[in-house]
Each structure stands twice: as structure tokens, then as C-alpha cells.
A and B are shown apart, each in its own frame.
Chain A
Amino acid sequence: MAGAGPFLIAPVASGLGIRITGTEARENILSPDVQAASVTAFLDRFPDVDIVFPVMDTSVEARALNCPFEFKGRVPVISGHPFEDPDALNGLSAPDPQACETMADNVRVVARIARDTGRPVGAFVVGPVTLAAHLLGATCLVRLAARDTSAFGGVLGNCLRFIRPYALALAAAGASHIAILEPQLIFFSPAVYERSVRSRIEDLACGLPSPILHVCGDTRRHLAAFALTAHVQVLSLDAAVDFSAALDATPGLSGKTLMGNISPVEVLHRGTPGLVRETVESLVKSMRGRHFILSSGCDMVPDTPLENMEAFMQTALSLR
């Protein structure tokens, strides 16, 4: 395609390895060996991805801090928020990522994938807002943000303290990219982001390898604030954001690499190979040669049809 420039291909799709290996999601989450085998199986089937990700699990840090959880569907979901008092977080020690089994397992997965595949490996941590919502509950966090900015900042500072050692351990294990997952950030206005969140994201991203900030949903009004976030190199955004329009409307964004944003549900899961091809072509064309990372807008579901993933990869490779 005329005008199509270099772009990396990095779908957040290792969950498909679960399907390829015929294993259960639960075994993959709980066993580094099983998960590493699933990721390897995914890579065997789709060898041309540029960055491979482990199975996404946004509960790791909260589980490490003893939040109750249940396996629902394919991933553990935090089922209770044990900290009613934000000040209770002050007395908590940060989990040691080597000693805490939940974190250590994920560090081992990243090390195994990096060693066995020789590929760039992206690893996941949650961001401070998302961890805070897990620990306190979203409503409590919202009330705090609205009524006590200082306490809200203190909570985020504590969450940063809990997450950062884990992020560093993942980097030391061989992660080439660290994706900071902030699905709960979309609750808050850009003003709250600027006032209380941005500095924590910057502190978390500082010194990490190729930090990615991932925020789900319609983030168009947040983009200018995201663009100002130091240390974050990549912004991973959902399908609600038109990349080309966003780059045109937000000059500061040109300093970041955009990542995304094929809809994992409407296009990749529920669409046809034809729709996948059309959507990938349209995105690549709209970028007019500007560098970006072609990916799914968020995590792909394991029962995404493999022929849709094949259409994604074939179309991407044909355009590069």
C-alpha cells in the first residue's frame, strides 16, 4: 500500500495460546510452565509478531496484597476490597516480587518467554489508580478523589510503592516493554489525571524499558494530558480513538508512539476475516506512514477465531 510506513505488530493475543494448547485459563494463570508453553504455541502459530505478551492478568498486584479473588471466566477477578480506610495502606509493606508467589510466577513466565523465544517480551503491571480501585473499591476511590485530594494522592503514592518493585523485577527478568494497565483511569477527568495521577505514572514509568500506558475506553479527552506524561513512550489505546484524527488534533501526541487499536470484541472476536482485513487496512492507511504499533485495542479474548487472528497477521504483513 502506498504510504504505509514501518510499524510493529504486537497484538495482545497470548490468550489465544490457551486455545491453541487446549489448556484451561486457570492453569495458565497459576502455572508459569503452562503459560510459557501457551505463549510459545501462540508464537509457533503466529511467528511474525514483533512483541509477545504473556496472558494478561490485572489482579496480580492486588492478589499479592491479599485481596480476595475468584476465577470468573478466564481470569482471576478481585471480589472484595479489604481496605476501607485509605490510611491502612500506609502500614503495608510492598510485596517482594521474588518472594511473593503470585508475582514471582509472573516474573518467571516473562523470564522463560524471553529466554525460550529470544523475542521482545512485553510484561504487564497495573497502574496506581487501578490497584487503588482494587484495594479500596471504585466508589470509595471516587469519593476520595472528589473530597480529599491529599488522601487520594496518598493512596496513589502507596500503590506506586507496591507496584514499582514488581515492574523492576519484570524488567530484570527480560521484559523489553512494560505495559502499565490503567482500565480504571477512564473514570476520572483529565483534570484529576493532571492533578493527582500523572506524576505517579511518571514515577512508575521512569527507568522502565519502553513503558506503555494502556487505558481502555474513549480517552479522546485525556489525550493531551497523556501526551504530557514523561517517561511513557507508548500509548496503548482502545478502538474508540481514531489515531489519525487524534494525532492531528493533539500535536503533543507525536512525541509518543501510539499502539492499538483494532477492537478486540467487535472486530477480532465477533467480526469476520474480511472485517478484520478491512479494519487493519483502514488503520494502516490512516496513519499515512507515521510510526505506530499495530495491536488490538485491548486484550483479545481466548475464543477469538484463529482465522481472524490469521487475517490480522496476513494483512499486517502484507502492508509492511
Chain B
Amino acid sequence: MMNGSIAAVRDAIDTLDLDNVCSLVQKCLDEGLTPEEIIEHGIGQGLDIVGKKFETGEYFLADLIMAGEVVKEAMPILKRRMNPGLASKRGTVILATVAGDIHEIGKNIVGMILSANGYEVVDLGVDVSASSIIDTARSTGARLIGLSALLSTMVHSIREVVEASRAAGLREQVRIVIGGACTSQALCAEMGADAYGETAIDALRIFNGFSQAA
């Protein structure tokens, strides 16, 4: 059975309770629970519930952003006590909005969800060149890349990243996931990417799949 204090953290995420999440997380720590337990069973499960509510239409994008804000509020307390190994447990994800596109809200939501679920996120920002993304993959050893694109005129930038990974000899090692308003499953195939996620929750599921398969 789930510890009551962890359940309260989970519920705080679910109910987007920005005001109380820190004290609830602190209570868990004071009771001797580890940050890893709190993240996995409290924050992670809370985000699962939020994700399901978003997918079923009960929650809206604003609620997803708020859930990210609640998690952001709680994370510093946890990070201070966290085993440095946890962040790399699931892997490192490089996130970027592709060259020529500066829309970032969707990417940021994905980043928050991934961080809260134990990924180390390297957010390169917006309008990021293919070479910069691949250089980062090489220097960090990250094998998961998330690309966001909203402008249909910039979808060719996705192909540039795929080709740059091939030119760098990394294509077999990296998994490239795309998302954003102008992307689709068909575009994913056309551009030679590995997966398409329609929502931030989709993205988490996809990265979890790749992470477990690695």
C-alpha cells in the first residue's frame, strides 16, 4: 500500500496544488522517504494521472503546464537530497526546437514531464541547428533526441538532424522523436525519424520505450 505522505504528493500533482507541494515533499523526506521514492511514486504517479486526464479531455494544456510548474516547485528540494545517479537512470534526452522555428511551449512541457520522470534533459532551446544537436549528442553521450517543430516551412530541419546524425556515424545509436503542430506520423516516416509523439505524454511513453530497450 502506498505511504500516505507520498499519496499526498501524488494528489498535489494531480490537483495542481502549487501552494502545498513543497511542504508535502518535505514531510516525505522528514519521514525518511528517499527522493527516488518520492519522484517515482509521488510525482511520477501524479503526472501519470495528469497525463491521463489530459488525454481524456478532463485537463487542458494549461493544466499540463501547471502540473509542470508544481513539479518545478518541488524539484529543488528533492535535488538537494538526490543521489546523482538517479537523473541518469533513464537516460539523457536532448530537446530542441528545430532551426528556423522558435516555438518552445510544447518542447518545454515535454522537458518538464521528462525531468520529473527521471530523465536528464539537455534543453538546447529554439532555432537550433542540426550540427549543434549532433555535437551535443556526441559530447554528452545522449542517445535520445526530441525535436519540436511548429512551422510547416521548417520541417526540412528535421531531416537535416537525421542526416547529420548519419554523417556523424551516430544514426544507429540515437533515437530521434519528433512532435509539434506541423508534425505527424507520416512526416516522421518521410523525414526518417524514429517516432512521432502527438502529446507530451506520448513523448514520455516513447522515450520510456526507447530507454527500456537500450
Interface residues of A, Cβ cutoff 8 Å to B: 70, 72-74, 77, 79, 138-139, 142-143, 145-147, 186-189, 192, 221, 264-266, 269-270, 301, 303
Smallest CB gap from B66: residue in A: A146
Does B189 lie at the interface of the complex (its beta carbon under 8 Å from any beta carbon of A)?
no
- Chain B residues with CB below 8 A from A138, complex form: 65, 105
B25 to chain A, nearest CB (A): 19
- Closest A residue to B155 by CB, please name it: A270
Interface residues of B (CB under 8 A from A): 16, 18, 57, 59-63, 65-66, 69, 100-102, 105, 108, 127, 151-154, 181-182, 184
Whether B100 pairs with A192 at a CB distance below 8 angstroms is: no
Q: Are B153 and A146 in contact (CB under 8 A)?
A: no
Instruction: Give Cα A146–Cα B154 distance, bound, in whole angstroms.
Output: 34
**B63 proximity list for chain A (CB < 8 A):** 189
> Which listed residue, A74, A143, A266, touches B153 by the CB 8 Å rule?
A74
- Please, which residues of chain A bring their CB within 8 A of the CB of B101? 72-73
Residues of chain B within 8 A of A74, CB atoms compared: 153
Q: Which residue of B lies closest to A190 (CB)?
A: B60
Kindly list chain B residues whose C-beta atoms are within 8 Å of the C-beta of A192: 62
- By a CB distance below 8 angstroms, the chain B residues around A265 are 152, 181-182
Not counting A145-B62, A301-B152, a sample of 5 additional A-B residue pairs whose C-beta atoms are within 8 angstroms of each other reads A138-B105, A139-B65, A142-B62, A187-B62, A189-B62
Q: List 30 A-B contacts (CB under 8 A).
A: A70-B102, A72-B100, A72-B101, A72-B102, A73-B100, A73-B154, A74-B153, A77-B102, A138-B65, A142-B62, A143-B18, A143-B66, A143-B69, A145-B62, A146-B18, A146-B62, A186-B61, A187-B60, A187-B61, A187-B62, A187-B65, A188-B61, A189-B59, A189-B63, A221-B57, A266-B184, A269-B152, A270-B152, A301-B153, A303-B153
**List of A residues within 8 angstroms of B151 by Cβ:** 73, 301
B100 contact set on A, CB distance < 8 A: 72-73
Task: Give the CA-CA distance A143 to B18 in the complex, in Å.
Answer: 9
For the complex, what is the distance from the CA of A139 to the CA of B153, rounded to whole Å? Answer: 26
Q: What's the nearest-Cβ distance from chain B to residue A73, in Å?
A: 5
Closest to B16 in A: A146
The residue in chain B whose Cβ has the minimal distance to the Cβ of A70 is B102
Report chain A residues within 8 Å CB of B65.
Answer: 138-139, 142, 187
Q: How far is the CB of B5 from chain A (nearest CB, A)?
A: 24
Q: A139 to B69, alpha carbons, bound, how many Å?
A: 8
Among residues of B, the one whose C-beta sits closest to the C-beta of A302 is B153
Please give the distance in Å from B15's CB to the nearest CB on chain A.
11
CA of A139 to CA of B66 in the docked complex: distance in angstroms? 8
CB distance from A5 to the nearest CB of B (A): 32
| Chain A residue, CB-CB nearest to B154 | A73
CA distance A288 to B186 in the complex (A): 31
B148 smallest CB distance to A (angstroms)? 14
